[in-house]
Amino acid sequence: MLISSAYAQTAPAATAAGSDLSSSLMSMLPLLLMFVVLYFVMIRPQMKRQKEHKTMLESLAKGDEVATSGGLLGKVTQLSEQQVGLEIAGGVIVQIQRSAVIQVLPKGSLK
C-alpha cells in the first residue's frame, strides 16, 4: 500500500524533422551571438593594437625618444634586430629588448 503502481508512459508524437532542426538552430543562436560580440569587442581590437605595436617597433630609428615597459625614458642610440641601445642619461647607455619599447615620444620631450 505504500508503494504506488508504476505505469508506462506513451511515447510522444513524432515531430517533423524540419521543425526539430530549426528549434536546435534557435537554441544555438544566443551562443553564436555571444561569440560574434566577443570577437568585435575583445579579439579584433587586440589584434589591431598588436599590429600597431609591431609597425612602431619596426620603424624605430636612431634619435627617437622612447618609453619602455619598465618605465625608462631615453633616446635610441643603437639598433639591432632584437635589442636597442637607450641613452637614459649623459653617456649612460643601457641595452634593452626591442619589445620592451611601448611608446615613441614626441621629439624634444626629454631634456
In this predicted structure, what is the pLDDT of residue 23?
Answer: 84
DSSP 55-104: HHHHT--TT-EEEETTS-EEEEEEE-SSEEEEEEETTEEEEEEGGGEEEE
* Residue 105 confidence class, pLDDT cut points 50, 70, 90: very high
- Considering the domain architecture, whether residues 54 and 39 belong to the same structural domain is answered as yes
- Considering the domain architecture, whether residues 109 and 75 belong to the same structural domain is answered as yes
* Residue 107 confidence class, pLDDT cut points 50, 70, 90: very high
* Residue 61 confidence class, pLDDT cut points 50, 70, 90: very high
- Considering the domain architecture, whether residues 29 and 46 belong to the same structural domain is answered as yes
Regarding predicted confidence, which is higher, 19 or 80?
Answer: 80
Domain membership of residue 48 as a residue range: 18-59
Residues comprising the chain, all counted: 111
Residue 107 belongs to a domain: yes
The three three-digit cell numbers of residue 72, written as one number = 625608462
The secondary structure element, H or E, covering residue 47 is: helix 44-58
- Considering the domain architecture, whether residues 40 and 81 belong to the same structural domain is answered as no
Q: What is the DSSP letter of 31?
A: H
Q: What is the pLDDT of residues 88-104, one digit of tens each?
A: 999 999 999 999 999 99
